[in-house]
């Protein structure tokens, strides 16, 4: 589905990604782990066309490296940024409307509805007519996750969805990820909380110094004390 090969990326003269390789298969959740500064966010931004890169990024056997972000989104790739990027002066429901995929004649009905969003996060239903800018951080994260789903992507990259959230909200985000898994949506998850990443993922990738230093199942990562100590633990 997604195949990244020999991916390099730069911020000015700073060489951030050094030949990253990985794949995400249909219906698979893959966690991208590592310490801050390891290159995880740069990786997903480069895949999404927000950072210039060198190498190859193939989506369903077509090269997308160098395309604009909106073109990549139209191909079925969703992205939930770490900084949320909600529209603060629009209501919760209006933010969801902006994410909604425009149906073309003869196209299949979208897999996700407003009712799905409000069922996943009942708090958004309560706040649907509230301006998004006054929501709490956890509510804004819920909104961003749901707005991306309204675009009906086949593959979603989610950057640090539980960062700074209260434990109750973290569990709601975990349930969201489980729902994606049940519906067969492919996910690349950037996450600091190992418990969630290991629970929902089929495979784990660990980054260090802009490269993939480990790839394996959650069980293999749990069993590899060296990798966890060297590249994950503080």
**pLDDT, mean of residues 112-125:** 94
pLDDT, residue 3, reads 97
**pLDDT, mean of residues 183-188:** 93
CB 157 within 8 A of CB 185: no
pLDDT, residue 68, reads 96
C-alpha R_g of the chain: 17
105, pLDDT greater than 70: no
Structure-model confidence comparison of residues 203 and 163, the more confident one: 203
60, pLDDT greater than 90: yes
pLDDT, residue 106, reads 61
Q: CB-hemisphere CA count at 13 Å for 66?
A: 5
Q: How far apart are CA 161 and CA 189, in angstroms?
A: 8
Q: How far apart are CA 53 and CA 49, in angstroms?
A: 8
Q: Which residue has the tokens 């990253």?
A: 20
Tokens of 208: 């260090």
In this prediction, residue 110 has a pLDDT band, given cuts at 50, 70 and 90, of confident
Please tell me the least confidently modeled range out of 36-45, 53-62, 99-108.
99-108
List pLDDT tens digits, range 161-178. 998 888 888 999 898 999
CB 103 within 8 A of CB 110: yes
Structure-model confidence comparison of residues 78 and 84, the more confident one: 78
In this prediction, residue 216 has a pLDDT band, given cuts at 50, 70 and 90, of very high
CATH number at residue 178: 3.40.50.300
**pLDDT, mean of residues 113-121:** 93
**How many residues are given for the chain?**
234
Q: How far apart are CA 229 and CA 234, in angstroms?
A: 8
Q: Which domain holds residue 74?
A: 2-232
Q: Count of H helices and E strands in the chain?
A: 10, 10
127, pLDDT greater than 90: yes
- pTM given for the model: 0.92
**Average model confidence (pLDDT) for the chain?**
93
Q: How far apart are CA 139 and CA 133, in angstroms?
A: 10
Number of domains making up the chain: 1
In this prediction, residue 103 has a pLDDT band, given cuts at 50, 70 and 90, of low
pLDDT, residue 20, reads 98
pLDDT, residue 128, reads 96
102, pLDDT greater than 80: no
Torsional class of 231: left (φ above 0), alpha (ψ -120 to 50), beta (otherwise): alpha
State what percent of residues in the chain have pLDDT above 70.
97
């Amino acid at each position: 589905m997604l195949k990244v090969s020999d991916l390099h990326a730069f911020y000015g003269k700073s060489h951030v990604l050094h030949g990253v390789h990985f794949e995400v298969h249909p219906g698979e959740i893959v966690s991208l782990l590592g310490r801050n500064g390891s290159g995880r966010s740069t990786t997903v931004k480069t895949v999404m066309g927000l950072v210039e890169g060198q190498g190859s990024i193939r989506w369903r056997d077509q090269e997308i490296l160098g395309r604009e972000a909106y073109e990549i989104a139209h191909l079925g790739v969703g992205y939930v940024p770490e900084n949320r990027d909600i529209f603060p002066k629009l209501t919760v429901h209006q933010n969801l409307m902006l994410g909604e995929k425009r149906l073309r004649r003869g196209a299949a009905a979208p897999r996700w509805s407003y009712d799905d969003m409000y069922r996943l996060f009942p708090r958004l239903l309560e706040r649907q007519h509230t301006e998004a800018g006054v929501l709490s951080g956890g509510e804004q994260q819920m909104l961003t996750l749901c707005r991306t789903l309204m675009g009906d992507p086949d593959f979603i990259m989610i950057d640090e969805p539980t960062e700074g959230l209260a434990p109750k909200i973290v569990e709601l985000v975990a349930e969201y990820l489980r729902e994606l898994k049940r519906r067969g949506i492919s996910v690349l998850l950037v996450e600091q909380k190992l418990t969630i990443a290991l629970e929902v993922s089929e495979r784990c990738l660990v980054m260090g110094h802009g490269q993939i230093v480990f790839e394996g199942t959650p069980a293999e990562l749990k069993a590899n004390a060296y990798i966890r100590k060297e590249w994950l633990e503080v």
